[in-house]
Structure 1
Amino acid sequence: MWIDNYFTINRKSGIENVDIYDVELNPDSEIYRGHFPGEPVSPGVCSIGMIVACASRSIGSPLEIRKISRCRFLSVISPQNRQDLRIRIELTDAILADEKQGKMYQIEASIKYKELVCLSLKGELAERPGKA
């Protein structure tokens, strides 16, 4: 999968329904070869992908985006000057939409570099069909 080489999870911690992931971007990822070589910038879709990957790990099941109600890109994420990031994931209790759709989760998430918020997101995730 494309995101496997994009970042590494160094540590996971959390309390109640909030998980915190300390992640490190891989500056040698293929993604940066086409996204501004020499001055790499993390594509927004990749940052959102990190959030979904961490949320999937939190519940132990592959998730996909169903709805993004708010997504704010507040600061550039680059492997050159912001390699070490903290991802905060808050998931609500699962709701079983129906047998075909599987469980749905409300998510609020952010990506920070030190105290600087780079991205904030609110939306809905669902278990991938056939993967429940």
Structure 2
Amino acid sequence: MMLIKDFYKIQATRNVDANTIHVTILLNKNHDVFNGHFPGNPITPGVCMIQTIKEITQDHVERNLFLQGISNVKFTALINPHINPELVLELSIIEENNTVKVKNITKFTNGTIALKCNGTFITNTELV
């Protein structure tokens, strides 16, 4: 389930190997989030990209996930939905007990890297 309704649409998912998936998404350039970030020069908010990574990972592992930590976050290009609405998320996902570790590289379709980060998520069973 998307926290930010209609923010993106999954175009394709490809299993690369046992731990890696490539997911192509299309950002909704008309989404309200871009009206405030920033008017006349829309930039995809970093928190929205982290949420997107979490949601795609959650769907892949078929468990509810909660962000425990994120590290090595590097935005190397501005993600403007009018210029680069289609993104490819390369996700390496390792599950260990109730922890899911994700290494992400988000690229434009021309291969330019826009975002790199590592995330650690826990399932709701660890919150009890």
Match of 2:66 in 1: 64
Q: Which runs of 5+ in 2 are unaligned?
A: none
Q: Does the 8 Å CA contact 1:35/1:42 hold for their aligned counterparts?
A: yes
| Alpha-carbon separation, structure 2, partners of 1:123 and 1:88 | 13
Give the aligned residue type for 1:122.
Answer: N
Deviation at 1:129, TM superposition (A): 4.8
Determine the C-alpha separation between the residues in 2 that align with 1:7 and 1:93: 25
Residue pairs, 1:10-25, within 5 angstroms: 10-14=11-15, 15-25=17-27
User: Which whole-Å CA distance do the structure 1 matches of 2:119 and 2:11 have between them?
Assistant: 25
What is the rounded CA distance, in whole Å, between the counterparts of 1:47 and 1:22 in structure 2? 13
What stretches of structure 1 move > 6 A for 4+ residues in a row?
Answer: none
Matching of residues 1-132 of structure 1 within 5 Å: 2-14=3-15, 15-95=17-97, 103-114=98-109, 115-129=111-125
CA RMSD of aligned residues (A): 1.7
* Residues 68 and 124, structure 1, Cα contact 8 Å, conserved in 2: yes
Q: Give the Cα–Cα distance (whole angstroms) in 1 for the partners of residues 22 and 123 of structure 2.
A: 21
Structure 1 CA distance for aligned equivalents of residues 95 and 122 of structure 2: 12
**What SS is found at the alignment partner of 1:77?**
coil
What TM-score results when the alignment is normalised by the length of structure 1? 0.86
What is the aligned-residue identity percentage? 23
Amino acid at match of 2:69: K
What TM-score, normalized by structure 2, do the two folds share? Answer: 0.89
C-alpha displacement of 1:130: 8.4
Contact 1:17 1:91 in 2 (8 A): yes
Structure 1 residue 113, shift from structure 2 partner: 0.2
Task: Give per-residue Cα distances to partners, 1:63-90, cap 9 Å, x unaligned.
Answer: 1210112111111001110101001111
Unaligned runs of 5+ in 1: 96-102
**SS in structure 2 opposite 1:93?**
strand
State the distance in 1 between where 2:29 and 2:6 align.
10
